[in-house]
Amino acid sequence: MPLGTESIAVQRPFIGYAIEAGWTYLSPEDALNLRRGITSPILDSVLIDQLQRLNPTTVDRQRAEDITKKFVRVRPNIDGNLDAWEYLKGLKTVFVKAEREIGEAALFLLA
């Protein structure tokens, strides 16, 4: 496949479908500004903000920062991918000291 063909045949249509589905397009520069460095696999500031927004009674800024640091350090293999997915889907829980009387609490990561 000649260079450039993938962009025209795959990437651009995929971006168009994502926008139609309600996703927001970010330019590479915008995405980099939301990351902590070029090697971060996530939009750190977005994850921190969403963790706080979706879990207002259990996640403050510091806890969101800590969770984000742990999230980006998952094992770089299929097991790490599974762990990350299970947290994102709410299938795994984390211990929340304030909630200990009622057990562990799920952190909501998806809007």
The first and second tokens of residue 14, run together, are: 């995929």
How many structural domains compose the chain? 2
Tell me how far CA of residue 55 lies from CA of 18, 49, 63, 96, in angstroms. Answer: 26, 10, 11, 11
Q: Does 101 share its domain with 68?
A: yes
Q: Does 41 share its domain with 95?
A: yes
| Span 40-63, pLDDT tens digits | 888 999 999 998 998 888 888 998
Give the residue-averaged pLDDT of 63-67: 88
Per the structure, the complete domain to which residue 5 belongs is given by 1-28
CB 43 within 8 A of CB 35: yes
Q: Does 41 share its domain with 20?
A: no
pTM to 2 decimal places: 0.67
Q: How far apart, in whole angstroms, are the C-alpha atoms of residue 91 and residue 89?
A: 5
Burial class (CB in 10 A: 0-12, 13-18, 19+), 107: buried
- pLDDT band with cut points at 50, 70 and 90 for residue 4: low
Residue 94 φ then ψ, to 5°: -125, 155
